[in-house]
Amino acid sequence: QQHRRLISRQRFINDFSQCLYEFVIQLLPTAEEMAVKEDVRKLLERLIRTIEPDSRLLSFGSSANGFSLKNSDMDLCCLIDSGERLNASDLVTMVGDLLERETKFHVKPLPHARIPIVKLTLDPSPALPFGIACDIGFENRLALENTRLLMCYASIDPARVRTMVLFLKVWSKRRKINSPYKGTLSSYGYVLLVIYFLVHVKNPPVLPNLQQMPPLRPISEEETHLNGYNIWFFDDIELLRQRWKSSNTETVAELLIDFFRFYSRDFAYNTGVASIRAGLLKKETKGWFTDDHGTGRERNRLCIEDPFETDFNVARCVTKDGLYTIRGEFMRASRILQARPDRAILALAQLCE
């Protein structure tokens, strides 16, 4: 009896892995969509250069880190290489005016946000049935670096890492727990949770800690620091692919099931900080307290340290209710996957209902 159960569980795990791969593949953007987005980037770059001739417009976020889904928005960052620069707020206003005049985008400049950006949207058309949404920020070099870090992690073990991340992105959107404005977690936050789990929770680890590996040659403080933050990490992917061979052979289904179990039950939400740089840290040592000082705004319920901006909690927007909902969803997913479902495809559909 027990033997038979084990075999049927094993069969479920294999089927579920296969389903995950197939599910994720059809969610990837088409080559055509990527080409259109690249054209848009070039067009915007050309226009912005009429104001700042020495500027470059670079992609970051999902369109540059290997975690993009069909119709995901574009995150663009404008870098200005010459000396004399306008500040980000003024640039946002000027670029906003320019794009309003010169393009068909709906333009919304947000010059006074924590990170000033211009928001652009393009209405759906036959060629672009979902339109385009795009944010342009300025001089946000840390975002370019954290994008590169995530891209490196994805390319060490694309089959498992990319599949887990893409699945969780879709799942969190379908389950409506991917809205920082409504007290839940950003996509970036979910990606960090996955990497933290694969580097620090799984034993043996699936991924190495790229920020703690010894550099190949001595490097100066100047090369490693940006705005006072240490942004160094081991980024020689070719070499890593040759040298890093994880002894963890779990399938993507097993990893995902364990991911849900860990974040529904085991993670120390009340006291812990998930840091992909340093492992599990304490809220207390970072001075990240839940106390809202009477402002009524919840802070630090869930703590995820940014890989470079270590004084920044990526999950700062997650409220008490938001965290309760997110953990409830982790539990629901765990329950569905433990309930000995006999058809993997049905379990997957139920997960993303």
Residue 143 touches which of ligand GTP, Mg ion, none (Cβ within 5-8 Å per kind): ligand GTP
Shortest distance in whole angstroms from residue 62 CB to Mg ion: 5
Choice between 76 and 274, CB closer to Mg ion: 76
Integer Cα distance of 131 and 190 in angstroms: 25
Instruction: Report the length, in residues, of the chain.
Output: 353
DSSP-derived pairing of the beta strands 272-275 and 304-305: parallel
Give least dist CB 264 to Mg ion, A.
Answer: 26
Q: How far is the CB of 167 from ligand GTP (least distance, A)?
A: 13
Considering the complex, state which of residue 80 and residue 170 has its C-beta at the smaller distance from ligand GTP: 170
Q: What is the C-alpha to C-alpha distance for residues 190 and 185, in angstroms, rounded to an integer?
A: 7
DSSP-derived secondary structure letter, 29: P
Q: What angle do CA 271, 274, 275 make, to 5 degrees?
A: 130
Of residues 29 and 341, the one with the C-beta less far from ligand GTP: 29
Nearest to ligand GTP of 71, 350 (CB atom)? 71
Question: What residues have CB less than 8 Å from 117, skipping those under 6 apart?
Answer: 92, 109, 110, 135, 136, 137
First to last CA, the chain: 33
Output the residue with the shortest Cβ distance to Mg ion: 61
- From Mg ion, ligand GTP, none, interface partner of 298 (C-beta below 5 to 8 A by class): none
- What residues line the site for Mg ion (CB under 5 A)? 61-62, 73, 75
Q: Which residues bind ligand GTP (CB under 6 A)?
A: 60-62, 65, 67-69, 72-73, 75, 142-143, 146-147, 169, 186-188, 306, 309, 314
Residues 50, 8 contacting (CB under 8 angstroms)? no
Identify whether 204 is preceded by a cis peptide bond (ω within 30 of 0). yes
Q: Min. distance of Cβ 105 from ligand GTP in angstroms? A: 18
Minimum distance from residue 61 beta carbon to Mg ion (Å)? 4
Between residues 73 and 139, which has the closer beta carbon with respect to Mg ion? Answer: 73
List residues bridging with 282 in a β-sheet: 272
